[in-house]
Chains A and B, each alone.
Chain A
Amino acid sequence: DQQVKQNSPSLSVQEGRISILNCDYTNSMFDYFLWYKKYPAEGPTFLISISSIKDKNEDGRFTVFLNKSAKHLSLHIVPSQPGDSAVYFCAAYYGGSQGNLIFGKGTKLSVKP
């Protein structure tokens, strides 16, 4: 059973517009969520995170929103740039999991010039 779901395998956005990547989770024990960005043949790089005590965290062009009642989080990229084209992984964690992050399958974002 997949605990972290990214239902859109791909997303295409025009440069300068907003990119919205979505993630749903099923385990209500999760209390910390992260987004990673991954280029082909490279390891994922940490992008932004949010604790379950917050509903929004912003870092430059990247904002993560958390809706605990819906068990849903989203990553907003504004404005989108061609260099943002990558696979984005949502991940979730809870204190009892000994640091085990549960990853979604990823969404491939393509930002077109």
Chain B
Amino acid sequence: SQTIHQWPATLVQPVGSPLSLECTVEGTSNPNLYWYRQAAGRGLQLLFYSVGIGQISSEVPQNLSASRPQDRQFILSSKKLLLSDSGFYLCAWSPGLAGTDTQYFGPGTRLTVL
């Protein structure tokens, strides 16, 4: 069966510090991968998605970047965190098949920028 992991689970960082959140998927090949952010009262906002190694699409211009160095690894980064980067970050994967595209989410990372 497929599983998705995210770490760390929680993170407190000062403004201006770098960020690296990691997501890995097991039990599947060539998944589509996604990064979302859930901010208070704003639902789930898609930040990045990737349909393959090295392929990243950005949905929202921001202070963050994403990379996919391996097929089942997705990394969310920032060089300098802002207060507004605080939120709950979720990684998700989907089978990448045409048609239905149910996404399955990881446990999330709670980021607090002080």
Contacts and interface: CB of A to CB of B under 8 A. Distances in A.
Interface of A: 32, 34, 36, 41-46, 49, 51, 89, 91, 93, 95, 98-101, 103-106
- Across the A-B interface, the 7 shortest Cβ-Cβ residue pairs: A43-B105, A105-B43, A103-B44, A99-B101, A43-B108, A44-B105, A99-B32
Interface centre among B41, B59, B92, B102 (most CB of A within 10 A): B102
Interface centre among A43, A45, A93 (most CB of B within 10 A): A43
A100 B59 contact: yes
Given A89-B44, A98-B49, A105-B41, A49 B102 contact: yes
Interface centre among A91, A99, A103 (most CB of B within 10 A): A99
Given A43-B6, A99-B49, A99-B101, 9 more contacts: A32-B101, A34-B102, A41-B108, A43-B106, A43-B108, A46-B102, A49-B102, A98-B49, A100-B59
Contacts of B34: 99
Nearest to A101: B103
B106 to A, nearest CB: 5
Given A41-B108, A42-B107, A46-B104, A99 B94 contact: yes
Contacts of A49: 100, 102
A100 B34 CA distance: 9
Contacts of B102: 34, 46, 49
Given A34-B102, A99-B94, A101-B101, A42 B108 contact: yes
Interface string B17-51: 00000000000000010100000011111100101
Nearest to B59: A100
A41 B49 CA distance: 22
B96 interface: yes
Interface string B70-114: 000000000000000000101010101011111111111010000
Nearest to A46: B102
Contact of B49 (A36, A43, A95, A100): A100
Contacts of A101: 46, 101, 103
Given A49-B100, A98-B51, A43 B46 contact: no
Nearest to B89: A43
